[in-house]
Amino acid sequence: MRTTYTTALLASSLLALWSCGGDKSSSPEPVARAAMTFDCGAPSSCVPANSAMIEVTCPQKGDTLVPGDTVVMRWRANVGPGDFSSFIPWNKATGDSTYKSLAETSIPIGSSTDDNQCYSYSTVLPVDFAVGYASFRVTDYSPNIANLRSVVDSVLIVAP
Q: Is position 70 within any domain?
A: yes
What pLDDT shows up at residue 142? 66
Q: Is position 50 within any domain?
A: yes
What pLDDT shows up at residue 59? 96
**Rounded mean pLDDT, 43-71:** 93
Model-level pTM? 0.74
Q: Is position 17 within any domain?
A: no
**Rounded mean pLDDT, 58-85:** 88
CATH number at residue 96: 2.60.40.10
Q: Is position 15 within any domain?
A: no
Residue 76 exposed, middle or buried by CB count within 10 Å (0-12, 13-18, 19+): buried
What pLDDT shows up at residue 38? 95
Residue 78 pLDDT level (bands cut at 50, 70, 90): confident
Q: Is position 32 within any domain?
A: no
Mean residue pLDDT across the chain: 78
How many distinct structural domains can be found in the chain?
1
Q: Is position 3 within any domain?
A: no
DSSP states of 73-139: EEEEEE--TTT-SEEEEEEE-TT-SS-EES-SSPEE--S-S-SEEEEEEEEEPPTTPPSEEEEEEEE
Mind listing the pLDDT tens digit for each residue in 15-40?
Answer: 333 334 444 445 445 456 678 999 99
Q: Which domain holds residue 46?
A: 37-157
Q: Is position 107 within any domain?
A: yes
Mind listing the pLDDT tens digit for each residue in 84-138?
Answer: 778 889 999 988 999 999 988 888 887 666 788 899 999 999 989 999 999 999 9
Asked whether the predicted pLDDT for residue 8 surpasses 70, the reply is: no
Q: Is position 99 within any domain?
A: yes
